[in-house]
Structures are given as C-alpha cells and as structure tokens.
Chains A and B, each alone.
Chain A
C-alpha cells in the first residue's frame, strides 16, 4: 500500500503542490532532449540515405568537437576553426565512403553496422592521439545567464541550444525539399536501385549525406562541448540517442526531434519524482524502458514508415 502510494499518489501531489518547480524540471528535461535530438538527427540522416545504422555518430560528435576546440586553443579564430573542422569532416566522409561503404556495398545491415563500430574505434583513436585525452573547456560565446518565467528558472544556454536545433531542422528541411541535391537524397532514401537507374550517383550522395551528418555532429559537439567541456564522455551520448531513435522512428527527422523531447522530459521528470522510490539513478535505463513501451504499440516508432512485409 505504501509502495503504491509512493508510486501513484505522492509524485502527483508534489507536482500540484509546486507547479513552478515542475515547470522547471520539465523545461530542463526538454532542453536536454533537444541535445539528444541533435545526435539522433545525425543518425537519421545517414540511415535514411544509406540504410546504415551509423554507430560512429557519437564519436563523430567527439571528433568534430575535439578538432574545433583544438584549433581554437591553437589560436585559430572561431569562424576559421569551424570552416577547417567542416573540411575535415567532409574529408572523413570521403574516406568512409571510399574505404568502408564502397567495398561493403550490398552486404547485410549487421555487417555495415559492425563496420561503423570499427570507424568509431578508429576516429576515437585518431582524435585522442592528436588532441590528447584532457577535458577541454569550450567557450564560443553562448550566453549562460539564467532568467525566470514565473518562478521557474531557465538557463539561457539551453534556450540557445533549442533555437540552434530548431534552426538546423528548418535548414535541413529546406535543403531536402528545395535543392536538387536534396531531392536526390530523398530519392536515394526511398529506393536505392530506382535512384541509381535514373542516374543519381549513389557514391556522391553518400559522401554528401555523411558530410551533412558530420556538420550536424560539429554543431552537436559545440553545443554539448560548451555545456560539459569537450571530453571522451561525449561519444557516450550516442547511446542516449538510441532510444530517441526507436521512439521517433529511424527514418523520420521530425521523429528525432519529438522523440528527443519526449525522452528528455520523461527521463528528468521520472528521475526527480520517481527516482527516490526506485533508489535513484533511474535515468540510466528509463529512456530505454519508455521507448520499449512505445514500441509495443508502434513497432516502427512514432513517425516511422509502416513496415510492410511480403513473403
């Protein structure tokens, strides 16, 4: 009885007693969710265009951020550092296409997935060999004051991240819908063979989409890096993006955003109000269980394309 009370009554009483605090927790969670969405976005882009489940996305975030912060520490101006990092990420995309994807074309999904884990190991080794393993603070001038809405405290940097994420999604959406390359990308995502048959060069498309994912990784890296410092643990956030992916669906950009928000908010609220009952640190697994619960009702994620199977 006591347990039921702690599970179903007390948390809600607490929420109604202090609605502003609840709002604060909720916005904090939503903002963390935006960060997850940014990582998930990189996954979705690559999965859509090449059907590759890119486990290296988290390490790409770390790698881009390491290059960026390393160049800035070496005295390169911020804009130039950004441009150089993007160039590096494009080079990485070229290398991955040439040395990993092309030789493995037409292999099973699990083989490609394993290959991206190999890429993750490699990039991690290279990044840390060049730039070292220290935690590097990153300051790109994102405001980090707090302000109040009613009684709820909101971090300006969180808001900034949300704006950047929104901006990124709009840019990507415009890119996908109104440019020639974007249309080619969507065609490839729809059907590889049909796209090839009407003369879309698959290899170029892969380079482009991995470059775009590299760019998204850089933005994510800067956001996370200025919040936590650039460090190895950045590559672990990839694991947090996975439940976001299955919640939103592997192939849906809006899914990545909405999924990220649901996971972020859900996990913060659960930790604050139900964490004590379970003995704390439920953030580690709550996102996965939440995503699993959603999967029971929609096996393809919230926004994923309906899976039709034929014999």
Chain B
C-alpha cells in the first residue's frame, strides 16, 4: 500500500521510457538530490561533510566505475586503485602545467587519461577471462603505481614526491575556491556532489541503452553475444574505457578535494580491494548499490573503532584494531551468506514488502 505502482498510466512513449516511471520513485529521488544539495550543507558540520560525505561520494564514483566493468560487463578487475592514481596524477599535471584551464576540465582530463590507460590494460581481456584476467589487472596496479612514483615528470620533479594541490577557483580565477586546504568544506562537498550526480545519471542511462545492453550480453555469455552480432572488442574495451574514466575522475577528486595532495599511498592495492568490496556488498550491476556499498564499507570501520567508546568500554587501541579486522571479516562473510546480491537487492525486497503491506499473502 505504501509503495504503489498501480493506477499510473502512461500516455506517451517518452513517459514510458523515462528513467523513473513511478511518481513515488521520482519524487523520492528528486527529494534526495535536493536534500543533498541544499539540506546537507546547511545541517552538516565540518566533520560530517569533510570526513564522511566527501570520501563516500568519491568512493561511490569509483565504485560505479568498477561496477560498470565488473557488474555490467563481467570483467573482474583488481586494478581500480591504479586507474584512480592515473586520474589523479594526470589531473595534477594538467592543473599545474595548463593553468589556463579551469579545474573541472583538469579533473575530466585526468579521467580521460585514465580511460586510455584502461583501454591499454583492457586488451588482454579479449583473450583471458575470470581470475586470470583479475591477476592480469594486478599488473596494472603494480606497474602504474611504480611508474608514477619513479618517473618524476608526473609530480613536476617535486622533491618529496607528494605534491600538494594548490587552491583553485571553479573557473580559473572566478568563482569560489573548490580545491585545496583554503576551500570551504561546503564548496568542496558541492563540487564533488555535482560530479557524483552527473556521473550516476550517465551511468544509469548508459546501462539501459545499447552500450549497456551489449555489456550485459557479454557478461552473461560472451560467445553467445558474439554470435548475435555484438563485437567483443568494442564492448569490452568500451567497458574498460568508461570504467577507468569514472575511476580516474574519482582518483582526481580524492586528491583535489579530499586529501589535498597527490599521494601514491592512497591508491594502493588495498584501495582496489576496498572498492571491490563496495560493489559486492552494495550489489553487482546496480548504480544504487555502488552508493550504498561505498557508504557501508567506508563507515563500517569508523563505526567499529568508535563503538567501544560509545558503549563506555575501555579497550586498548591495538586490540580495537585487531577486533576491527575480525569483525570486518565476519561481517563480510555474513553479508555474502545472507544476501549475495547485496544491499541493492535488500532495497528491492523492502519495496516489495511495502507494496504488499498490510496484506501480505
């Protein structure tokens, strides 16, 4: 009763093909986005916006990227961290050396560079599959990080190797500061949010038009897809390119809007695994799942480390770290057992329940 789709009649093809055809869904999503843009900066404080919302949104962008590749196109990748690094380093190069370009362009250029790298490392996917491919993408992870830390050109011959990000205005020297230490947390948050919303919209639309359908055909069975006329070369490489573009933008935003420097440590293999967890826990092949998974995996360790304090227990710090590992491991296994299709599937089930309430059969 609460969630209804009965009685909604469409009178045009355009309405039939809309992104959110049920008014209830539409108003909910519009309300959520409006809250994120207007309400959140008003109610959120420095900690909530700067240390929770910004990283969660950025990681959600990266998770969307990996979800396109793994969830939609079925190509398992463990190189997400490296593709993020490619975006971050290239965005830094563009922002410093081509300073007449506004910073959003630099970030998109980082994504573009990352897409090229992604295509390069996606070529083996034409020949190898499954876990063999996953290990092959590890080659990208280790090689690219080595490249960025050993070739000084990428950091403008900076001696420390970890260059700080300058304060950039939105459009060269006009508009509010959006990156760097001086920028207000609200500005950085809104800047990241705009990217997240647009990329989510793009991903959602890509997934349901021709390109997304061919990805899913390749995922479900690539030989059968090839026989019905889907070109594996185009499909797989486009999945790699677009996925890496998302990851690259996420990596650039991470450097520009969150940690304020380009640090290789932020893009290690642990990051790749973290994002893989996000899409598995959130739901493979679901844009909503990318956001839910990113929030869950990012907040879980924070909650776990705060929990003894909230409960008034006095536990030594190193024990908390070990306990965190253990609980994290158990929770991951628990979630996989209870709902292998992730949080997105739970959301779907909740909607089903709400539809039947209060008369379940």
* A binding-site residues for B, Cβ under 8 Å: 53, 99-100, 103-104, 107-111, 113-115, 117-126, 128-129, 133, 239, 242-243, 245-246, 250, 278-282, 284-285, 288-289, 291-292, 295-296, 299-301, 307, 309-311
Query: Does B330 count as interface, using CB distance less than 8 angstroms?
Result: yes
A99 closest partner in B (C-beta): B333
Interchain residue pairs with CB less than 8 A apart (27): A107-B336, A107-B340, A109-B131, A110-B76, A110-B284, A118-B333, A120-B329, A124-B329, A125-B322, A125-B324, A125-B326, A126-B326, A133-B318, A245-B135, A246-B135, A288-B142, A288-B143, A291-B136, A292-B124, A295-B127, A295-B128, A295-B132, A296-B124, A310-B223, A311-B223, A311-B224, A311-B227
Q: Which of A109, A121, A309 is within 8 Å of B328, CB to CB? A: A121
Known: A107-B336, A119-B333, A122-B329. 6 other contacts (CB 8 A): A104-B336, A118-B333, A121-B332, A126-B322, A279-B151, A310-B223
Q: Which residues of B contact A288 (CB under 8 A)?
A: 135-136, 138-139, 142-143
A78 smallest CB distance to B (angstroms): 27
CA–CA, A280 to B323, complex, Å? 38
CA–CA, A121 to B223, complex, Å? 37
Q: Which of B124, B131, B139, B319 is within 8 Å of A53, CB to CB? A: B131
Query: Does B42 count as interface, using CB distance less than 8 angstroms?
Result: no
Q: Which residues of A contact B224 (CB under 8 A)?
A: 311
Contact B142–A285 (Cβ < 8 Å): yes
Contact B135–A121 (Cβ < 8 Å): no
| Contact pattern, B 117-130, Cβ under 8 Å of A = 1, otherwise 0 | 00000001001111
Contact A114–B276 (Cβ < 8 Å): yes
* B binding-site residues for A, Cβ under 8 Å: 70, 76, 124, 127-132, 135-136, 138-139, 142-143, 146, 150-151, 221, 223-224, 227, 269, 273, 276-277, 280, 284, 318-319, 322-333, 336-337, 340
Q: Which of A114, A122, A292 is within 8 Å of B280, CB to CB? A: A114
With A129-B322, A285-B142 known as contacts, the answer to whether A279 contacts B340 (CB < 8 A) is no
A183 smallest CB distance to B (angstroms): 27
Contact B146–A122 (Cβ < 8 Å): no
CA–CA, A164 to B348, complex, Å? 54
Q: Which residues of A contact B284 (CB under 8 A)?
A: 110
A112 closest partner in B (C-beta): B336
Q: Which of A113, A246, A279, A310 is within 8 Å of B150, CB to CB? A: A279
Contact B124–A121 (Cβ < 8 Å): no
Q: Which residues of A contact B130 (CB under 8 A)?
A: 109
Contact B280–A111 (Cβ < 8 Å): yes
B81 smallest CB distance to A (angstroms): 13
CA–CA, A113 to B127, complex, Å? 22
B281 closest partner in A (C-beta): A114
CA–CA, A301 to B150, complex, Å? 31
With A109-B130, A125-B325, A300-B132 known as contacts, the answer to whether A285 contacts B146 (CB < 8 A) is yes
Q: Which residues of B contact A108 (CB under 8 A)?
A: 340
Contact B136–A292 (Cβ < 8 Å): yes
With A246-B135, A285-B139 known as contacts, the answer to whether A299 contacts B322 (CB < 8 A) is no
Q: Which residues of A contact B327 (CB under 8 A)?
A: 125
Q: Which residues of B contact A119 (CB under 8 A)?
A: 329, 333
Q: Which residues of B contact A118 (CB under 8 A)?
A: 328-333, 336
B150 closest partner in A (C-beta): A279
CA–CA, A99 to B138, complex, Å? 29
Contact A242–B132 (Cβ < 8 Å): no
